[in-house]
């Protein structure tokens, strides 16, 4: 739940900035902001860890999902990432509800 709110919390300021500049008549800047932030997230958020993995930690290794897709980012890889994210969210929710391991104390009930 926290990761989902964190993702939304980091996207809302970008969205608000795009809306503000679009209302000021700078539509090109709004589009550039919305596309640029996502491209930055992909290039830095994915590129930097993958670069460190393949150059510093395990030299010559490959990023498995992209390698299996012949080094192209298309709808199949996007769908695979969405499915993996949905699985991650399900496991996160199940862990928060203490299904697998006990991580949260039970809530106190109001006594009337």
Encode pLDDT of 55-111 as tens digits: 787 777 777 777 788 877 788 887 888 898 889 889 888 888 888 888 877 777 666
Q: Is residue 17 part of a domain?
A: yes
Average pLDDT over residues 27-49: 76
Q: Is residue 86 part of a domain?
A: yes
Question: Is 57 within 8 Å of 68 (Cβ atoms)?
Answer: no
Q: Is residue 105 part of a domain?
A: no
Number of structural domains in the chain:
1
Question: Is 30 within 8 Å of 19 (Cβ atoms)?
Answer: yes
Q: Is residue 77 part of a domain?
A: yes
What is the model's pLDDT at position 24? 92
Question: Is 52 within 8 Å of 59 (Cβ atoms)?
Answer: no
pLDDT reading at 21 higher than 80: yes
Q: Is residue 111 part of a domain?
A: no
Q: Is residue 25 part of a domain?
A: yes
**Which has the closest alpha carbon to 27: 35, 43, 37?**
35
Lowest mean pLDDT among 4-13, 25-34, 92-101: 4-13
Q: Is residue 28 part of a domain?
A: yes
Q: Enter the pTM of the model.
A: 0.47
Q: Is residue 104 part of a domain?
A: no
pLDDT reading at 29 higher than 80: yes
What is the residue range of 28's domain?
A: 1-97
**Calpha distance 5→83 (Å, rounded):** 19
């Amino acid at each position: 739940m926290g990761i989902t709110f964190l993702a939304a919390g980091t996207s809302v300021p970008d969205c608000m900035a795009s809306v503000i500049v679009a209302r000021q008549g700078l539509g090109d800047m709004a589009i550039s902001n919305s596309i640029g932030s996502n491209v930055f997230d992909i290039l830095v958020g994915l590129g930097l860890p993958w670069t460190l993995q393949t150059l510093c930690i395990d030299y010559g290794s490959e990023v498995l999902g992209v390698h299996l897709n012949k080094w192209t980012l298309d709808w199949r890889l996007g769908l695979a990432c969405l499915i993996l994210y949905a699985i991650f969210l399900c496991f996160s929710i199940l862990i928060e509800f203490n299904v697998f391991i006990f991580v949260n104390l039970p809530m106190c009930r109001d006594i009337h």
